[in-house]
């Protein structure tokens, strides 16, 4: 990726939000290719086609840049789960939507997935906090739906939601690491069927 240039050959001055997006994309490329510890701000600036001072105007250091990337991806993923829960009142489709969110994340956004789940910085407390927050928001979205539909209390709904999300995440990661031995569609269907046969056993609130 290179910076946009004007007809004079000089770099075009981008709006701050556009520049930030450009820098984050460049940083993601470098972090995924080299890992956090081996990546340098020089590499990221070069990848973005900007000077180091421009990079430092937006991010005071490498960790802040990495955390900004995590925030972007973690928030977007949690929103996918919320959208899957609110897109339909059909609970089987909600389960399918949740599974699809996990499989899409590891398949179509594998670079983002590696940043979140396979980082060499996972033991850093600020990184761990963001991953934990993403997982908590995902579980909370499913919890609210389970409580609303089944009438079980929050503690029990949270256990069910954590199990559902955990199964989805583990299965999607296993599928990717195993070289996608089955198609994504079939993998989603297998885990959806497994999960639905479990969660579907809890009666709807109005059926009590």
Residue-wise pLDDT tens digits, 44-91: 999 999 999 999 999 999 999 999 999 998 898 999 999 999 998 888
Confidence at 145, pLDDT banded by 50, 70, 90:
confident
Question: What pLDDT, on the 0 to 100 scale, is given for residue 166?
Answer: 92
Give the pLDDT of residue 4: 47
pTM for the full predicted model: 0.77
Helix (H, G, I), strand (E, B), or coil: what is residue 152?
Answer: coil
Render pLDDT for 115-144 as a digit per residue (tens, 0 to 9). 888 777 878 899 889 889 999 999 999 998
Cβ neighbours of residue 119 closer than 8 Å, sequence gap 6 or more: 31, 35, 36, 127
- Residues 190 and 194: their CA atoms lie apart, in Å, by 6
φ, ψ of residue 5 in degrees (nearest 5): -125, 150
Count of C-beta atoms within a 10 Å radius of residue 146: 23
pLDDT tier at 146, thresholds 50, 70, 90: confident
Q: How far is CA 80 from CA 84, 129, 193, in A?
A: 6, 19, 20
């Amino acid at each position: 990726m290179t910076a946009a240039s004007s007809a004079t050959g000089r770099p075009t001055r981008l709006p701050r939000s556009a520049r930030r997006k450009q820098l984050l994309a460049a940083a993601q490329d470098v972090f995924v290719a080299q890992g956090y510890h081996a990546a340098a701000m020089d590499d990221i600036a070069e990848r973005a086609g900007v000077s180091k001072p421009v990079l430092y105007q937006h991010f005071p250091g490498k960790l802040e840049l990495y955390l900004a990337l995590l925030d972007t991806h973690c928030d977007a993923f949690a929103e996918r789960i919320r959208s899957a829960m609110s897109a339909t009142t059909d609970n089987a489709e909600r389960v399918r939507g949740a599974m699809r969110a996990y499989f899409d994340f590891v398949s179509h956004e594998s670079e983002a997935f590696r940043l979140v789940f396979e980082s060499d910085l996972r033991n850093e407390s600020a990184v761990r906090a963001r991953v934990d927050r993403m997982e908590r928001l995902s579980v909370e979205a499913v919890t609210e739906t389970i409580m609303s539909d089944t009438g079980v209390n929050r503690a029990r709904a949270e256990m069910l939601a954590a199990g559902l999300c955990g199964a989805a995440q583990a299965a999607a990661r296993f599928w990717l690491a195993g070289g996608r031995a089955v198609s994504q569609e079939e993998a989603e269907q297998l885990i959806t069927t497994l999960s639905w046969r479990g969660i579907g056993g809890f009666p709807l609130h109005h059926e009590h």
